[in-house]
Amino acid sequence: MTDAAASDPIVTCDACPVLCRIRPGKTGACDRYGNRDGRLVRLDPVVLTAAAGDATALVPFLAGGEWDGGVVGAPPVFVTGIGSGTTYPDYKPAPFIVASEHDGVDMVTVVTEGIFSYCGVKVKIDTDRFVGPEQAAVRCAGEQVGHVTTAEYGSQMLALGGVRHLTGGSKQEGNATCQAMLALCNKQPVELTVDGGAALTVQAGAPPVIDGVREQRMRVGCGSAAIGMFARQWLGHADEVIVVDDHITGVLTEHQAGRFLGMTPAGIRVRGRRSTPGRYFQVAEPGSGWGGTDVTDPLAIIERIDPKIARPGLRLLMVSTTGEDAAFFVLDEALEPVPHAMPAPLAAVVARIGENCEPALASVLFMAGAGGSLRAGVTENPVRLTRSVRDALTRVTSGGAPVYVWPGGGITYMVDVAAMPDDAFGYVPTPALVAPIEFTLRLDDYRALGGHMDQVRRLEDVARAVARDDRVRLASAGDNPWPLVPRR
């Protein structure tokens, strides 16, 4: 990769289509490669993970920079793609093809960094609060970087990135998308806004911040589920309980759970569309109020109180699906709900709803498709790698973390960035994200699928080489399954 004229101190990096010409002591546009004494070098350390509990045991190897990469007698290590370099352009084998032994079985791991134009990020935000209408644009630094997608149980979902935003729009849109994904994948906080919705701060593994409010609780269930779970505990302490929820608001005495307990309708009719007995849709607009609605006064969802059924002295509890909002009323002679202090038995159940909520978190899944360069870096006949993954002969990991490979064609995978070592992702200015990927299989199977056998190196040799080059970082594999265990 050094320029043809030996006297030219500039080196040309061909690790991505940008083809940076890098002067001595300088780095390329992505800061991942540099010119060190006329040599093109990958600047970040290669990350080796150690089996759970072993990372600290490995630290003494590195103390004082004295580790020579020796792994014999040491805890098992796994070479990840982080900092490994890339296969681009497609004719190159993967930078590290590492042979090692697991329980007497010869294994091989093909290690590389993928450059992904086709990639995205799915963000799960544990909240009922309204973040924005489905399909609304999600922006970062004013540029659209994705959209609000289908909500899940107790969580709002964002789909960010993707090739259309990376390369299909303006240069600013592509750069904003790339930087937002990069930060999210490297577990950093990112500020987003939703058209017609909220301002968000999301970070993998941290509580989301919605319009400046740090979310605390993920709801125990929808309003109907909450009615079912706690009906028996309310019995005898309230004549009616309404659980306010943007999805399904539950009304105890009409609900199957109340009827099962012998309760009779209390004559309090809530707004919205009745789905099935005691279950109401659309009692209010979505918002940041009670149960993900825009309601701040719970009585606003009561359409009418039937004088033929309701009676003075009727005890009414209204509560949200997280228990964060609750109020107790007693009907007066005119059948008007009058606020009263919450009786202790009801307060205890409200507290129990809160206790049953899980901490609200934002989760970030990176999703990408392993394409041509990547697969050609593993084998001379790339489709065989796809088949091998499909046949469960080859395990795919990202930074040593397990991935989910989608059914159907190609190797389209998702990985939880929280399970990966820190700073596992990079970028190139095309723009595209750079992510580690490893393929692990039996050495025999690798030979059979046309692997680059002449490039296979022993783990000890790879570890020594990166340690000698001062290019190694150790990380714990955490709770991840050990990738070298054969799949069959």
Nearer to ligand SF4, 43 or 300 (CB): 43
Q: What are 181's strand-pairing partners? A: none
C-alpha 365/C-alpha 160 separation (Å) is 10
Give min distance, CB of 120 to ligand SF4, in A: 21
CA atoms of 325 and 354, how far apart (whole Å): 10
Point out which residues bind ligand SF4 (CB under 6 A). 13, 15-16, 18-20, 28-30, 32-33, 428-429
Distance CA 150, CA 431 (A): 27
CA angle 289, 194, 164 (to 5 degrees): 150
Nearer to ligand SF4, 22 or 231 (CB): 22
What is d(CA 429, CA 16) in angstroms, rounded to the nearest whole number?
9
Q: Residue 274 Cβ, how far from ligand SF4 at the closest point, in Å?
A: 59
CB 85 to ligand SF4: min, Å: 9
Cβ-based nearer residue to ligand SF4, 14 or 325: 14
We find the least distance from the C-beta atom of residue 466 to ligand SF4, in angstroms, to be 19
Calculate ∠ Cα 446-111-90, nearest 5°: 85
Residue with tokens 């570890």: 463
Closest approach of Cβ 15 to ligand SF4, in Å? 4
Q: What does the alpha-carbon distance between residue 246 and residue 199 come to, in Å, rounded to a whole number?
A: 20
Residues 432 and 413: their CA atoms lie apart, in Å, by 16
3-state secondary structure string across 291-341: HHECCCCHHHHEEEECCCCCCCCCEEEEEECCCCCEEEEEECCCCCEEEEC
29 or 299: CB nearest ligand SF4: 29
Please list, in sequence order, all residues whose beta carbon lies within 8 angstroms of the beta carbon of residue 286, skipping any fewer than 6 positions away.
130, 246, 292, 293, 294
Q: Are strands 337-340 and 143-152 parallel, antiparallel or unpaired?
A: unpaired
Smallest gap from Cβ 175 to ligand SF4, in A, equals 13
If we measure between CA atoms, which residue out of 442, 423, 449, 447 comes closest to residue 484? 442
Q: How far is the CB of 430 from ligand SF4 (least distance, A)?
A: 8
Q: Is 5 buried (19+), middle (13-18) or exposed (0-12) by CB count in 10 A?
A: exposed
User: Which residue's Cβ lies closest to ligand SF4?
Assistant: 28
**DSSP secondary-structure letter at 64?**
G
- Closest to ligand SF4 by CB, 378 vs 428, is 428
| CB atoms inside a 10 Å sphere around CB 488 | 8
If the CB atoms of residues 17 and 307 are measured against ligand SF4, the closer one turns out to be 17
Give the C-alpha separation, 378 to 396, whole Å: 12
CB of 431 to ligand SF4, least distance (A): 10
Of residues 33 and 446, the one with the C-beta less far from ligand SF4: 33
DSSP bridge partners of 327: 318
Count CB neighbours of 264 within 10 A: 11
User: In terms of CB distance, is 93 or 207 closer to ligand SF4?
Assistant: 93
Cβ proximity to ligand SF4, 20 vs 419, nearer residue: 20
Q: Which is nearer to ligand SF4, 86 or 253 (CB)?
A: 86
> Looking up tokens 């080059």, which residue turns up?
469
